[in-house]
Structure 1
Amino acid sequence: MIPEDHPRHAALVVREHLANAMRRGIVAPEGLIAQGRGEAFDYLLGEQTTESAARAERTAAAMLLSARNPVISVNGNTAALCAAAIADLQRASGAAVEVNLFHRTEERMRAITALLAEAGVEVLSGEPERLIPLSHDRALCLQHGIGAADLVLVPLEDGDRCAALRQMGKRVIAVDLNPLSRTAQTATLPIIDEVRRALPAITAACASLTPAEAEALAASVDGSVYLHQAIDSIVRRLQEVEHALE
């Protein structure tokens, strides 16, 4: 039991949830390390969605609505944290959903797919092929899913596959709390925000954009702007903390 008056109650609940998901075979043990790394950067952002991230989330909605074949790529951490939010985003954007894992086993694929389906997600199925130019199992994807996508939303860290997808000519939206990561640096559009805040914000923006607004917003995306603004936000946050200690 986590005391409700604990100052880190929300974060501890998430950690316990992910630990339980690991025991159920949904999250890989390495996924817990990734969660901790993201938490550290969220501290630096003040554990809130910055104005820059909010703009990136609106732009992400525009890109999803404007894409021909958008796909949301889901790993274990994302499924464990955001299954219902993924279902909402799928309905709002019309994007397909495909499970793609680095630590891939058939048991994990079935467990994650079942979790998503229980939340109302329509998960693509079929025989995967090594279509992505990588030497590990994240190369495996569906020809009618990520293989045919012109836009892939990649929640959470995925640096080498993000770069490989870009090399294949695909646009990539990445949700990553670390603006210095390969994922954020490589994505067409980096969203520097916590995934449980980011996905509902993208869903809400999908409902508010007209087709014309979406086309105009998605036409020109400069990911470096969002990286600079995220780093500026972290610098300001650190300065505020420093001044408070004086």
Structure 2
Amino acid sequence: MSDAELSELPESHPRYLSLRTRHRIEEGVEKGITSKQGLIAEGRGEAFDYLLGERTLPTADDAARAAAAHLLLARHPVISVNGNVAALVPEDVVELAAVVDADVEVNLFNRTDERMQAIVDHLREHGAGEVKGLNGDARIPGLDHKRAVVDADGIGDADVVLVPLEDGDRAEALAAVGKTEIVVDLNPLSRSAQTATVPIVDNIVRALPNITTHARDLAGRPREELEAVVETFDTAGALAEAESAIRGGRLESDAESDPRTNGERK
């Protein structure tokens, strides 16, 4: 879909948000930010989101709040960015990083110098200051591909890493070296979601702003209160509710019954 076609599409169109998201991914491919495999990943995620009713489940909201608490408690939080994240939510990445004082680092499976620089430049165009990832002077143990390459003073030193749209083997590798991992993944059965300390089963376009909202609310709270938010989060329950919603096809009726969704399909 071209820019002109999107501009002519009324916001009342039932698939407006979905089409706008697809358009951002298409633009990302054209700009050299998103890989062609990213198009496939977006389609897979969209299918799961459709089954979720394109809304934030109550437990996904709980997960976003727990994620915000982890990031605020962290010694060195880092937000990891791949091509799809850069294409879909660059402004949200920058805003969240500012609220929780996190570093932003580009990390790619299909890593080339040109693509790394394109994503760094794209994030800077959307307000980012320093963006890590270009140095690539450290490695995550246990990985043989280019996602292992990280900055020593970025993901290499982080204690809490937010990894939106993660692939499973790096999720496992980060957990193995003791890092607290927050994952945004629409598939509750993926290795990423199953491995994460905090799995947020939600669309990234809703999840990142939601984490930021919770972080603003929690900022300045006593450390004990933040620790309580972390400790009371039910990882297994969140995954179970998401899987049940997907398998059961509970759509608008649930959104209307829970006040946290405002009766809307978010």
**TM-score (norm: length of structure 1):** 0.92
- 1:18 alignment partner, one of 3, 20, 25: 25
Aligned equivalent of 1:69: 76
| 2: CA distance, partners of 1:131 / 1:96 | 17
The answer to whether residue 213 in structure 2 is matched with residue 204 in structure 1 is: yes
| 1: CA distance, partners of 2:71 / 2:136 | 23
| 2: CA distance, partners of 1:104 / 1:211 | 41
| 1: CA distance, partners of 2:231 / 2:127 | 31
| 2: CA distance, partners of 1:137 / 1:239 | 39
Aligned equivalent of 2:195: 186
TM-superposed CA distance for 1:120, in Å, is 1.4
TM-superposed CA distance for 1:126, in Å, is 5.3
Question: Is the Cα–Cα contact under 8 Å of residues 188 and 221 in structure 1 kept in the other structure?
Answer: no
Aligned equivalent of 2:243: 231
Aligned equivalent of 1:164: 173
The answer to whether residue 158 in structure 2 is matched with residue 146 in structure 1 is: no
CA distance 1:217–1:204, change in 2 (3 Å): same
| 1: CA distance, partners of 2:213 / 2:251 | 32
Write the letter of the residue equivalent to 1:171. Answer: T
- Specify every segment of 5 or more residues in structure 1 that has no aligned partner in the other structure, as ranges: 242-246
Aligned equivalent of 1:244: none
TM-superposed CA distance for 1:180, in Å, is 1.1
| 2: CA distance, partners of 1:88 / 1:238 | 32
TM-superposition CA deviations, 1:148-172 (whole Å, max 9, x none): 1111100113211000000011110
- 1:48 alignment partner, one of 35, 45, 55: 55
| 2: CA distance, partners of 1:19 / 1:67 | 35
Which runs of structure 2 are paired with 1:211-230 in the superposition (5 Å)?
211-212=222-223, 213-219=225-231, 221-230=233-242
| Root-mean-square deviation (Å) | 1.7
TM-superposition CA deviations, 1:43-77 (whole Å, max 9, x none): 11100111110110001000000111111000010
- 1:80 alignment partner, one of 87, 91, 100: 87
| 1: CA distance, partners of 2:200 / 2:180 | 14
Q: How many percent of aligned residue pairs carry the same amino acid?
A: 50
Question: Is the Cα–Cα contact under 8 Å of residues 188 and 222 in structure 1 kept in the other structure?
Answer: no
- For the residue of structure 2 that corresponds to 1:146, the secondary structure is coil
Question: Is the Cα–Cα contact under 8 Å of residues 117 and 134 in structure 2 kept in the other structure?
Answer: no
Question: Is the Cα–Cα contact under 8 Å of residues 65 and 211 in structure 1 kept in the other structure?
Answer: no
TM-superposed CA distance for 1:94, in Å, is 0.7
Greater shift, 119-128 or 151-160, is seen at 119-128
| 2: CA distance, partners of 1:120 / 1:160 | 31
TM-superposition CA deviations, 1:6-39 (whole Å, max 9, x none): 4322211211221121011000000010000000
Question: Is the Cα–Cα contact under 8 Å of residues 62 and 233 in structure 2 kept in the other structure?
Answer: no
TM-superposition CA deviations, 1:172-192 (whole Å, max 9, x none): 000001111111111111000
CA distance 1:240–1:59, change in 2 (3 Å): closer
Question: Is the Cα–Cα contact under 8 Å of residues 53 and 252 in structure 2 kept in the other structure?
Answer: no
| 1: CA distance, partners of 2:171 / 2:105 | 15
Q: What is the number of equivalent residue pairs in this alignment?
A: 241
| 2: CA distance, partners of 1:152 / 1:189 | 11
CA distance 1:239–1:43, change in 2 (3 Å): closer
- Specify every segment of 5 or more residues in structure 2 that has no aligned partner in the other structure, as ranges: 254-266
CA distance 1:110–1:51, change in 2 (3 Å): same
TM-superposition CA deviations, 1:107-166 (whole Å, max 9, x none): 111110011111112312552134212010000001100001111100113211000000
Aligned equivalent of 2:261: none
